[in-house]
Structure 1
Amino acid sequence: MGSGVARLERPAAGRRQWHRFRTPRMWYRAVARADGCGCALIGTLWVINDSASVQFARTFYTELRTARGTLDTSRSALALHNAIHELRGKFLNTPSLWAAYLHAGA
């Protein structure tokens, strides 16, 4: 069993690539696989604006990075929280840009 983070985000530019995760059933299947491997799964409930998605990813991975420059995936829930908080601060009146993110698994 490994540990890590899998991001299943639905950016607007990649709509065709994410057709497999259109239904909640597909999302739950991915969550179950993530739980079985001991990793965390970060995803979105709907398609996210590309610009907001890039901002989220930058903050998320910055929050995972340790002082040594490695990624500490055990901090994925906190990193998600902080990335959402930052987006919310920038786009308070547009929750569709920050409210879609989910964390599941380890």
Structure 2
Amino acid sequence: MSAPAPLATADDVQARTEHEFTPTERARVTILYADASAMAYTLVPSMPDPPPATAVGVVSAVVLRAFAAPPEGLEEEAIGGHTRTLAHDGGGLYFTADELKLWRPPVPVPRGAFSIWT
């Protein structure tokens, strides 16, 4: 059995940023979207085939977030009273709960018998 197709491409990620990737950065983006796609298929085993239209945008957002994370592992910085979070615990690739919801099938509407009182 072959691995499922990646949910985004380097061109998809590039289209969602104003930063023009260098060849080295593009190679890193390619690895990140492949890893993010594999994670998505693992985290959402009920992902439909074909994946929903939101898949490309979600994987691209995850890749851009990981790409922007500082490679040295710095998670947070503070200047005076201002604190800024730079990376998620563990850094790298991660999905938010809202991003994962975009891939899961909708919860079916309860159906059943009912009564109307008159």
Q: Hey, which of these two has a bigger chunk of strand by percent? A: 1
State which structure, 1 or 2, has the greater radius of gyration over its C-alpha atoms: 2
Q: Is TM (by shorter chain) over 0.5?
A: no
For the aligned pair, the TM-score class normalised by the smaller chain equals: 0.3 to 0.5
Under a length normalisation based on structure 1, what TM-score does the superposition of the two structures give? 0.34
Q: Select the structure with the greater relative contact order (CA < 8 A; seq sep ≥ 6).
A: 1
Normalized per residue, the structure richer in helix is 1
